[in-house]
Chain A
Amino acid sequence: MKFAVIQFPGSNCDQDCLRAINSLPGLRAEYVWHKENSLSGFDAVVLPGGFAYGDYLRCGAIARFSPIMSEVVRAANDGRLVLGTCNGFQVLCEAGLLPGALVRNRALRFVCEMTRLRVEVEDSAFTRGCARGSILRLPIAHGEGCYFADQKTLRELNGNNQVILRYCDETGAATPESNPNGSVENIAGICNRAGNVFGLMPHPDRAFDGRLGSCDGAKIFLSMAETITAGERRVAA
């Protein structure tokens, strides 16, 4: 099963993503440079964290016009699984594949810490095997991860079970204290209406081995693999 890890100029978690995916049984990841214009042969696409194009103008604003992005949009529309972590989430929002936007952290500080995340949707393509209400531990590292969406969009996200992860405390409560960046309704990760595009500010790629402090990130990649194996999402064209 082949995952594409897109490399933009300024991506800096591309190696983390590649290593995380390649460490898991049956999964293989390869880099795809942003100037490429084909994703054929890949079962899933990962947009890694970093600072694509230096975050100039807005995070992800310039990256969304990279040549590979039209293929990412096509893959998403074809039903292939697309995952965006951190800067990758920002790129997916800018590209219009996910609703809302990521703005400057409320406290204006870059936050780099372990977070707890409550799983809101257990049968999503990205959280299979994680019970609703269970808690994942994944690290964050961002300055612009405050999720914003207007009230209408929030109603749609909640109504369609598109909010996959919320920041929470050790009891699973989504409190203001457990919200590291001021995201509206503690939202940490959302998917599109069709359920095959998922963006999250936390880094599953930095939590795939006990030595990193958590293995919970592996669950996301393995869930994607299970979804593809189950044939619920179109495999490589």
Chain B
Amino acid sequence: MRAKVIVTPKAAVLDPQGAAVRDAIRQLGMRDVKSVRIGKYLEIELSADGGETKIRLEQLCRDLLSNPVIEDYQLITE
């Protein structure tokens, strides 16, 4: 199984990095860019499969890969 995890800062959390990149994009002439949020992307390769692995991955996302206080995550398995 392969898993992809996308971690993004929660809406209520300031993302100064994203704001700096947004400003840079505007300076490059793309004035209609409204916001940029910067997160993390992880690719995980597993030798296991099935529902239980997916449950464990979900738990991993909550416990280690993201901090629920400041981040949301999206888990995609294939």
B-facing residues in A71-128 (Cβ within 8 Å): 93-94, 99-101, 103-108
Q: Does B12 belong to the interface (CB within 8 Å)?
A: yes
Inter-subunit contact B13/A103 (CB<8 Å): yes
Inter-subunit contact B69/A149 (CB<8 Å): yes
Residues of A in contact, count (CB < 8 Å)? 21
Main SS class of interface, A: loop
Inter-subunit contact A107/B16 (CB<8 Å): yes
Could you pull out 14 A-B pairs where Cβ atoms are within 8 angstroms?
A57-B40, A94-B67, A100-B69, A103-B70, A104-B16, A104-B17, A106-B16, A108-B20, A148-B13, A148-B14, A148-B69, A148-B70, A150-B69, A182-B16
- Extra 6 A-B pairs, beta carbons < 8 Å, given A61-B67, A100-B69, A101-B69: A62-B64, A94-B67, A105-B16, A108-B16, A148-B14, A148-B69
Residue ranges of B at the interface with A (Cβ–Cβ < 8 Å): 9, 12-14, 16-17, 20, 40, 64-65, 67, 69-70
Residue ranges of A at the interface with B (Cβ–Cβ < 8 Å): 57-58, 61-62, 65, 93-94, 99-101, 103-108, 146, 148-150, 182
